[in-house]
Amino acid sequence: MKEITVRDFFDAKKKDLALSLVTEPETLGNKITSPHINRPGLALAGYTEVFAADRVQIFGETEIRYLQTLDEDSIFPRMKEVLTNEIPCIIVSKGLTLPSTVEYLANDMNVAILSSRLSTIHLMQLLTKYLQDFFALEKTIHATLVDVFGLGVILTGKSGIGKSECALDLIHRGHSLIGDDMINIRLINERLMGRPGREFGYFMEIRGVGLINVEKMFGIERVRHQKTIDIQIELMPWQENMDYERIGLSENFVEHLGVKVPIIYLPVSPGKNVSVIVEVAAMNLILKNEGYDAAEDWNKKVHDEIKRKTKLKNIEVSAVEDDKERDYS
In the predicted model, what is the mean pLDDT of residues 260-281? 90
Q: Answer whether residue 294 shows pLDDT above 70.
A: yes
What's the sign of the alpha-carbon dihedral 71, 72, 77, 79?
A: positive
Residue of 142, 172, 216, 311 marked active site: 142
Q: Please, which pLDDT band fits residue 317 given cuts at 50, 70 and 90?
A: low
Q: Please, which pLDDT band fits residue 22 given cuts at 50, 70 and 90?
A: very high
In angstroms, the first-to-last Cα distance of the chain is 92
Burial of 115 per CB tally in 10 Å (0-12, 13-18, 19+): buried
In this structure, what are the phi and psi dihedrals at residue 113, rounded to the nearest 5 degrees? -115, 125
Residue of 73, 207, 243, 246 marked active site: 246
Among this protein's residues, is 256 annotated catalytic? no
In this prediction, residue 315 carries a pLDDT of: 73
- Selection from 123, 120, 102 nearest residue 111 by Cα: 102
DSSP state of 223: B
Strands 4-5 and 31-32: antiparallel
Q: What is the mean pLDDT of the chain?
A: 90
What's the sign of the alpha-carbon dihedral 248, 249, 250, 253?
A: positive
Among this protein's residues, is 186 annotated catalytic? no
- Selection from 185, 187, 183 nearest residue 198 by Cα: 183
Q: Please, which pLDDT band fits residue 320 given cuts at 50, 70 and 90?
A: low
**157 contacts 236 by C-beta, under 8 angstroms:** yes
Residue of 55, 78, 163, 186 marked active site: 163
Question: Helix H segments across the chain?
Answer: 6-13, 41-44, 61-68, 72-84, 100-108, 120-135, 163-172, 214-218, 274-289, 294-328
Residue of 13, 181, 198, 288 marked active site: 181
Of residues 280 and 250, more confidently modeled: 280
pLDDT digits (tens, 9 = 90+) for 210-242: 899 999 999 999 999 999 999 999 999 887 776
At residue 102, the 3 state secondary structure works out as helix
**CA 143, CA 184: separation in Å to the nearest integer?**
9
pLDDT digits (tens, 9 = 90+) for 95-115: 999 999 999 999 999 999 999
At residue 161, the 3 state secondary structure works out as coil
Among this protein's residues, is 246 annotated catalytic? yes
pLDDT digits (tens, 9 = 90+) for 234-260: 999 887 776 666 767 778 899 999 999
Among this protein's residues, is 180 annotated catalytic? no
User: Tell me: domain 4-135, CATH 3.40.50.300, correct?
Assistant: no
Please count the other Cβ atoms lying within 10 Å of the Cβ belonging to residue 185: 23
**CA 59, CA 35: separation in Å to the nearest integer?**
17
Q: Please, which pLDDT band fits residue 299 given cuts at 50, 70 and 90?
A: confident
Q: Please, which pLDDT band fits residue 271 given cuts at 50, 70 and 90?
A: confident
> What CATH architecture applies to the domain 137-289?
3-Layer(aba) Sandwich (3.40)
Amino acid of residue 194: G
Q: Answer whether residue 73 shows pLDDT above 70.
A: yes
**CA 252, CA 232: separation in Å to the nearest integer?**
10
**CA triplet 309, 315, 321: central angle to 5 degrees?**
135
Of residues 122 and 329, more confidently modeled: 122
In this structure, what are the phi and psi dihedrals at residue 31, rounded to the nearest 5 degrees? -115, 140
**How big is the chain by its Cα radius of gyration, in Å?**
31
Give the max Cα distance, the chain.
115
